Homo-oligomer: A and B are copies of this chain.
Amino acid sequence: MSKARTGNFFEDFSVGQHLRHATPRTVTSGDVSLYTALYGNRFAVQSSDEFARSLGYATAPVDDLLAFHIVFGKTVPDISLNAVANLGYAECRFLAPVYPGDTLTARSEVIGVRETSKRDAGVLYVRSEGYNQRHETVLSFARWVMVRKRDAAQPAPDPVIPVLAACVPPDTLASAVPAFDTPTYDRGLAGSDDLWASYDVGERIDHIDGMTIEDAEHQLATRLYQNTAKVHFNQHAQKADRFGRRLVYGGHVISMARAISFNGFANGFHIAAINGGRHVAPCFAGDTVYAWSEILERTEIPERDDVGALRLRTIATKDRPCTDYPGKTGDDYDDGVVLDLDYWVVMPK
């Protein structure tokens, strides 16, 4: 058997199976600089050690999505190298700040399997967790992917479909945020006077700006995350694919939408949880990504006077400004929609 791995197939997984993923990764200020260069983030907490320390952080934590992408990347060689499609996320929680110098590792547990009716593939449900060097869980998420079978004739296990929450409950949303004195929070430096209380449920915000993707950029990003999914890097193979081009890692688009949403949520410095997300259409180099958001819920966080939570739905589009808030009409997404993300951000009160 060759020493070069070709990844697991659907029949290699069983419910309850634990996977310990390779390549521990020390996150550094170099990763933070690259992340800034890739997306142009401007949240003060992640940008300034001084600002972060004034709120009780040890130093500026890394962007929540940078930590997510790194942990996600580790799961790819074991979970999704033979994936046909990434189908969904749920119960993604950011539980502790990640600082430059922290070393992340990742493990996953298989929580569900369901063969498709054509029997050549199956839906795999896993819960993945990222840990720091003190064995603290820094983030946790469930995802489901459709994975090819090595051999369609192989029998499949009985289906197990896990129950996943449609929305992460508010009580654990601020575990990664130190308790801070609200008056020390400098809205001028943060870039907006709009704090938690000023957002209304149902309010819509067009984030205005568009950013065009280049192949070099998404490749740099995806390799930075040590994500090995083949479709992002190999034009020679992709030209035979139905799209004829390299696909942009979906997480790259999430990070673009998040960075663009700074203009509207400048004080929403922390993603506390991702309730669910759908990559409605693939992105390619040359596409220009825009985004708008709607406030789905505004809630207090138990035992926290300093911060509250906003549940947001952020829609990203390509080559279509969001002045008219494109979204979903019935079961169909409007033209140009590429991402539909449901998540919680934490914001000072």
Partner-B contacts on A (CB < 8 A): 2-6, 20, 22-26, 28-34, 36-44, 47-51, 60, 77, 101, 103, 105, 133, 188-192, 194, 198-199, 205-212, 214-217, 219-224, 226, 228, 230, 233-237, 246, 263-266, 286, 288, 319, 321
Residue of B nearest to A105 (CB): B189
Does B4 lie within 8 Å of A24, measured CB to CB? no
Query: With A22-B192, A28-B33 given, can you name 17 additional A-B contacts, CB distance below 8 Å?
Result: A4-B264, A5-B263, A22-B189, A22-B266, A23-B47, A26-B60, A37-B221, A37-B223, A38-B223, A51-B103, A77-B191, A209-B228, A212-B219, A212-B234, A212-B236, A212-B246, A237-B321
User: How far apart are A179's CB and chain B's nearest CB, in angstroms?
Assistant: 21
- Assuming the contacts A217-B220, A219-B217, asked whether A37 and B34 have C-beta atoms less than 8 A apart, the reply is yes
* 11 residue pairs from A and B, CB less than 8 Å apart: A3-B192, A4-B205, A22-B44, A36-B226, A37-B224, A49-B103, A209-B234, A210-B234, A216-B216, A236-B288, A236-B321
| Distance, CA A133 to CA B38, complexed state (A) | 26
| Distance, CA A246 to CA B211, complexed state (A) | 11
Does A39 lie within 8 Å of B223, measured CB to CB? yes
User: How far apart are A204's CB and chain B's nearest CB, in angstroms?
Assistant: 9
Residues of chain B contacted by A264 (CB below 8 angstroms): 2-4
Does A24 lie within 8 Å of B212, measured CB to CB? no
Residues of chain B contacted by A25 (CB below 8 angstroms): 47-48
| Distance, CA A226 to CA B105, complexed state (A) | 30
| Distance, CA A32 to CA B31, complexed state (A) | 9
Does B22 lie within 8 Å of A190, measured CB to CB? yes
Does B226 lie within 8 Å of A40, measured CB to CB? yes
User: How far apart are A46's CB and chain B's nearest CB, in angstroms?
Assistant: 10
| Distance, CA A162 to CA B322, complexed state (A) | 41
Does A226 lie within 8 Å of B42, measured CB to CB? yes
Residues of chain B contacted by A210 (CB below 8 angstroms): 230, 233-234, 236-237
Residues of chain B contacted by A194 (CB below 8 angstroms): 3
Does A207 lie within 8 Å of B44, measured CB to CB? no
| Distance, CA A219 to CA B286, complexed state (A) | 13
Residues of chain B contacted by A223 (CB below 8 angstroms): 36-40
User: How far apart are A89's CB and chain B's nearest CB, in angstroms?
Assistant: 23
| Distance, CA A288 to CA B233, complexed state (A) | 9
Does A3 lie within 8 Å of B205, measured CB to CB? yes
| Distance, CA A28 to CA B47, complexed state (A) | 10
Residue of B nearest to A237 (CB): B210
| Distance, CA A40 to CA B219, complexed state (A) | 9
- Assuming the contacts A24-B51, A30-B28, A30-B32, asked whether A214 and B206 have C-beta atoms less than 8 A apart, the reply is no
User: How far apart are A5's CB and chain B's nearest CB, in angstroms?
Assistant: 6
Residues of chain B contacted by A188 (CB below 8 angstroms): 20, 22
User: How far apart are A31's CB and chain B's nearest CB, in angstroms?
Assistant: 5
Closest A-B pairs by Cβ, 10 of them = A30-B33, A22-B191, A40-B223, A236-B288, A24-B48, A216-B216, A30-B30, A28-B29, A214-B216, A212-B235
User: How far apart are A287's CB and chain B's nearest CB, in angstroms?
Assistant: 8
- Assuming the contacts A24-B47, A264-B3, asked whether A33 and B224 have C-beta atoms less than 8 A apart, the reply is yes
User: How far apart are A255's CB and chain B's nearest CB, in angstroms?
Assistant: 12
| Distance, CA A5 to CA B36, complexed state (A) | 20
